[in-house]
Amino acid sequence: MSFTPPKESYPGKVYPVTIGTGGKAVTIGGENVLSFHSFEGETPNRPVIAMEIQDVPPADWPENVRKVFEGVSDDPVKWAKYCQDELKAKAIALRLVGTHPDRENRTPADAVQTVKDVLAAVDLPLIILGSNHAEKDSAVLIAVAEAAKDRNCIIGKAQEANYKTIAAAAMANGHKLIAMSELDINLSKQLNILITQMGFDKEKVITDPMCSALGYGLEYTYSVMERIRLAALTQNDQTMQQPLLGDVGMYVWKVKETQAPESDLPQWGDAEQRGILWEAETATALLVAGAELVIMRHPRAAAVVEKVIEELV
């Protein structure tokens, strides 16, 4: 008698979300099974890796990742084109860190010009991120959402302190929206509900439950993502069926294990390889937990994760 493996089926389904326009548009989500369980149901879209760029040179990035972008990271347009043409990225995440009041305090008009220049230079789907300063992001993201009108970008991140203005701007200009809460499934659900009560289409939201690096609370992030995905599938909870984002690079490349030089900790091995593996391991764990979109920094780490995705898909 042949063996037939048992299969799980679920009443719920993750909403498919398309970003970008034209032939380079990508769709995430759409599955009705747990991550990579294509043997049990539908997994129409593979996870997407977006390469991170910034509006200002990444002076605070460790040398081992910063040196990869020497010659292009001084200009977001050159940086974006490098990601598109040389790295063959499927999406780009533009982080407007220069607008933060404690950084260069760039104006919304400065941010608008950066976004317009990047959109004119590349045709990849664009994720436009603020500086994570709630008050400043409200002004900046309203302006850039209008500047990128009808390019079907992802705008974020909307948080409890500023979701009304950012969601309204994304809705008015035809964009998707990142809803970020702080590692709590109940807060995540509440924010999704508040955003949809404004009239924002629940099928155009991407949930960011916040991220942690390997060794710095990754298991907690994993647990929250897993619980969100199980609620979406097993309970058919429509407030939890949005695709999940893992904003990996910004958290990984600031921890000790990716920054400590070999001269200080020779027992930890090659510093560059250590950092690459730290980012790849973190991203892979979050993909297994349920993330459909991850934002990464080091091209070699992204290549490792792409290979993992290919093998699991």
8-38 pLDDT, tens digit per residue, is: 999 999 999 999 999 999 999 999 999 999 9
Q: What is the mean pLDDT of the chain?
A: 96
- pLDDT in the model for residue 134: 93
Domain spans of the chain, in order of start: 17-312
- pTM, full prediction: 0.96
Residues 6+ apart with CB under 8 A from 289: 35, 221, 222, 225, 226, 229, 244
CB 92 within 8 A of CB 51: yes
Phi, psi (5° rounding) for residue 47? -60, 155
CB 128 within 8 A of CB 154: yes
The CATH number, out of the four listed (2.40.30.20, 3.20.20.20, 3.40.50.720, 3.20.20.10), of the domain defined by the range 17-312: 3.20.20.20
pLDDT at 221 over 90: yes
Residue 124's Cβ-side half-sphere holds a number of Cα atoms within 13 Å equal to 27
Task: Report the b/e string of 155-165 with b at 16+ CB within 10 A.
Answer: bbbbbeebbeb
d(CA 157, CA 12): 26
- pLDDT in the model for residue 3: 84
CB 210 within 8 A of CB 182: yes
DSSP letters along 35-83, please? TT-TTTS---S--EEEEEEESS--TTS-HHHHGGGTTTTTSHHHHHHHH
Q: Are strands 91-95 and 48-54 parallel, antiparallel or unpaired?
A: parallel
Phi, psi (5° rounding) for residue 65? -105, -30
Q: 57-61, 232-236, 263-267 — which is least confidently predicted?
A: 263-267
What 3-state DSSP class applies to 14? coil
